[in-house]
Structure 1
Amino acid sequence: MDGLVTGTDTELPTLLTPRDGVPAVTDTDAGYEAMVEALAGGEGPLGIDTERAHGFRYSPKAWLIQLRRRGAGTFLLDPVALAPDDELADLSGLRDAVGDAEWIIHAATQDLPCLVEVGLTPTRLFDTELAGRLLGYPRVSLGAMAEQFCGVHLLKEHSADDWSTRPLPEDWLVYAALDVELLDELRDAMSAELVAAGKDEWARQEFTHLVEDAGTSRPPREELWRRVSGIHDVHGRRQLALVRELWEARERIAARRDKAPGRILNDRVIVSAATRSDLTAGSLSELSGFRKGVAKRYLNIWSDAVRRVEAMDPQEYPSVRPPRRGNGAPRTWQGHNPEAYARFTAAREALSRIAEQHTVPPENLLTPDTWHRLCWQPPRSLTPVAVDEQLAAAGARLWQRELTREALASALAVA
């Protein structure tokens, strides 16, 4: 394989450059059309990856899309350059051009949302991270899988960089191209091991589920402001109201500027302000965190947030404890629903044994939410058939139900 640097006798060689060289970034309509034609004429699966700007931008959109297919080569696509003003690019023509070719993605749940929003939805999929989980590997990053199955080391030093940077540095482009360089080879090796382990049907069902679930909108989480780092230092409802108002003001600015919230106003500054007993809208400017950097530009907005709390009826303050959602965490069941907690304990032990027996992570054997709900409200008839029906209604795949329904029925009945 070209582009390798050999290490010591105990080290794997490091892949430094793509075998076909580093392609120029596709950022024009003409370049995009040529890329689509080339990929349509390629053979086999389509390797695809994205680079986002998490920690730098508010939006989770893709700032670079990497694609590779046998017979076509590697392409680095700038979807933002192809987008109309304040809109997202429409890349559905690329999706149509490759037809029903299987897509190879590492950690599809991370990449699919930003691909779907630009019109890229697969019809078939192979997720190399999920395959690694089903095979029982403790480390399933792309680098770990490349070492295990391809015998090479991938450098991952640019994974947390700001991919909204323009122009992208050359070494970043090398990194991006290498992320799809081995996907085809990796897919073939992992597929063979899945067959040998008798888990290929598990993988097929999981990949089908990912495709069917792609683009499904999720209800927004409520009271996200309670996730502010350091909120455990905030005591009292008025202090929580201050956190909420400052957080919501920051969110509006971040969304408007497409900038990561923490780069506008740090969480620790919000908490420090909220926990001051003498805080007023007028005194906010005296705090160092509001007098420097980007935060200084929005001092009037922060002050208005404090004024809203000053004018607020105490009954409008948020509760000290977050509102209870659903059945709550199982650790809280013991006090108010001991029967459900007993079922949870028995089911957890049963699922742990099955997961260990089949060398698969418990969370991939059955999602915690699925079996937690089963323990909270089991079917009237504690039979494998009834358990299977309830698991199916919750979205569990057939392979998961076949492995767990009898053990869960027994655990629920004993408890």
Structure 2
Amino acid sequence: MTDALTVPFEEGHDAVKVIESRDDYLEAVAAIAAGHGPVAVDAERASGYRYSQRAYLIQVFRRDAGAFLFDPIAIGSFQELQDAIVDEEWLFHAASQDLPCLREVGLVPTRIFDTELGARIAGFPRVGLGAVVEQLLGITLAKAHSAADWSTRPLPQSWLVYAALDVELLPDLRDALAAVLDEAGKTEIARQEFDAVLHRAPKPARAEPWRRLSGMHALRGTRALAIARSLWTARDAFAQETDIAPGRIIPDSAIVAAAAAAPESRKDLAAVKAFTGRASRSELDRWWAAVDEGRTTEDLPRLRGKGEPTLPPPRAWADRNPAADRRYKAARAAVTARAEELDIPLENLLTPDTLRTISWEPPATVSDESVAAALVALDARPWQVEATASLIASAFTAPAVVAAAQDSSAEDPAVS
């Protein structure tokens, strides 16, 4: 590894142009197809500014071809680029963030290498792009525009340089990180994790997304929940209509404040000091209609939402299910020790949900084989099963844990 540069790498970068025409796009695709090696890909969204999670800029780099920045809104179809690179390895940093919006425009890889996830598996203490680049390549990046509004047009040149660097360094970073993983015997682990990210199914839509409002815990009673639900629904519809991030229209805190106050008139709503936001007054009629609907509806929501986690939080297990509590604590200690031994973050060795689920409802007969089968059913990767199944089985069958389960069963036959 070379010594880190003393000035930000961006300062020496050439001017960057955004490709907006079909002719320029097709010329860029031909250059990328003629390049060699893996293809670095990144996408910039406007999270926190726009309602949609679409890509507003797509960056591609390949050795002997160069870096190309595409405006997906202007380009339209990316079928030619997809055809040119579909069989190549695509490089990402935090692929899970970019894959959904790339799929929207028809860019779908068949093989990936994720430098952020690879750095986690390698045991790096910091896995942001700048930190990993500095550690492995000795280059200091000034990460100044990661939270920018990428729907802005025209995009400032400093933003474009930043965007180009996100892909230009990935091939060298991939090679350096692959060597680290190989030396640590983690190449196959990384391959399985990359494949899991690539083929992970999208999360199903929440049954009641309005319950994710920040500060909801402060509301009391179903009527307040009904007002919050109605306001959230009105805000979401307006956000979709205007393609503005909901929180920039009226923040969650404003909805919660209005729901708690339960105003009885448009004037009362306007008088709620905490009811703020850029559209809190310009769209006051809209919000009052929503509040009035929540005040008068007979379709009151339940205090506890549909589709919420079926397992209680682990802190409640000692009272709710003491046997599961003992299993979970014993298994977590064993898996934590294994994660430290492998120098892999605990959540990457086995997800918290997986460990909690199998601890709450273990196989009827606990053995290495039955625990391994249960982990596979919970979508654990082969390397995770190999690393943890025996440990978990041993933890579940430890004398102290078994005795606790027997005591719990004696006190309450419904508890296992």
Same-fold call, TM > 0.5? yes
Aligned to 2:408: none
CA distance in structure 1 between the partners assigned to 2:262 and 2:62 by the alignment: 61
What amino acid is aligned across from residue 350 of structure 1 in structure 2?
A
Which of residues 367, 382, 385 in structure 1 aligns to 2:351?
367
Aligned to 2:314: 330
Which of residues 29, 34, 39 in structure 1 aligns to 2:32?
39
Residues 1:168 and 2:155 are matched in the alignment: yes
1:10-36 Cα offsets, whole Å, 9 max, x none, are: xxx4211465x2331011111111111
Aligned to 1:377: 361
Aligned to 2:341: 357
Q: TM-score, normalised by structure 2?
A: 0.90
Identical columns (%) = 46
What amino acid is aligned across from residue 332 of structure 2 in structure 1?
R
CA distance in structure 1 between the partners assigned to 2:15 and 2:379 by the alignment: 42
Superposition pairs of residues 59-74 of structure 1, within 5 angstroms: 59-74=52-67
Distance change (3 Å), C-alpha of 1:17 and 1:46: farther
1:167-189 Cα offsets, whole Å, 9 max, x none, are: 00111111111111210110000
Partner secondary structure for residue 130 of structure 2: helix
Deviation at 1:291, TM superposition (A): 8.0
* Structure 1 unaligned blocks of 5 or more: 8-12, 84-89
CA distance in structure 2 between the partners assigned to 1:95 and 1:229 by the alignment: 39
CA distance in structure 2 between the partners assigned to 1:145 and 1:337 by the alignment: 43
Select between 240-249 and 401-410 the one with higher mean Cα deviation: 240-249
CA distance in structure 2 between the partners assigned to 1:346 and 1:208 by the alignment: 30
Distance change (3 Å), C-alpha of 1:269 and 1:292: closer
Select between 35-44 and 317-326 the one with higher mean Cα deviation: 317-326
CA distance in structure 2 between the partners assigned to 1:109 and 1:292 by the alignment: 31
Deviation at 1:233, TM superposition (A): 2.7
CA RMSD of aligned residues (A): 2.0
Residues 1:210 and 2:197 are matched in the alignment: yes
Partner secondary structure for residue 113 of structure 2: strand
CA distance in structure 1 between the partners assigned to 2:356 and 2:179 by the alignment: 34
Distance change (3 Å), C-alpha of 1:101 and 1:22: farther
CA distance in structure 2 between the partners assigned to 1:96 and 1:413 by the alignment: 53
* Structure 2 unaligned blocks of 5 or more: 402-416
Deviation at 1:294, TM superposition (A): 2.5
Select between 393-402 and 51-60 the one with higher mean Cα deviation: 393-402
Deviation at 1:82, TM superposition (A): 2.1
Residues 1:319 and 2:313 are matched in the alignment: no
Contact 1:249 1:305 in 2 (8 A): yes
Deviation at 1:275, TM superposition (A): 1.8
Which of residues 206, 226, 245 in structure 2 aligns to 1:221?
206
Aligned to 2:245: 260
What amino acid is aligned across from residue 128 of structure 1 in structure 2?
T
Aligned to 1:77: 70
Q: TM-score, normalised by structure 1?
A: 0.90
CA distance in structure 1 between the partners assigned to 2:262 and 2:373 by the alignment: 55
Deviation at 1:336, TM superposition (A): 2.3
What amino acid is aligned across from residue 247 of structure 1 in structure 2?
W
CA distance in structure 1 between the partners assigned to 2:38 and 2:199 by the alignment: 19
1:284-314 Cα offsets, whole Å, 9 max, x none, are: 233456687323332222111111122223x
Contact 2:120 2:127 in 1 (8 A): yes
Which of residues 233, 253, 259 in structure 1 aligns to 2:218?
233
Contact 2:261 2:272 in 1 (8 A): no
Aligned to 1:132: 119
What amino acid is aligned across from residue 302 of structure 2 in structure 1?
S
Contact 1:231 1:271 in 2 (8 A): yes
Which of residues 16, 26, 29 in structure 1 aligns to 2:10?
16
CA distance in structure 2 between the partners assigned to 1:356 and 1:310 by the alignment: 54
Distance change (3 Å), C-alpha of 1:292 and 1:228: closer
CA distance in structure 1 between the partners assigned to 2:264 and 2:161 by the alignment: 50
Aligned to 2:411: none
CA distance in structure 1 between the partners assigned to 2:368 and 2:245 by the alignment: 48
Aligned to 2:278: 293
Aligned to 1:243: 228
Residues 1:407 and 2:391 are matched in the alignment: yes
Distance change (3 Å), C-alpha of 1:6 and 1:364: closer
Aligned to 1:310: 295
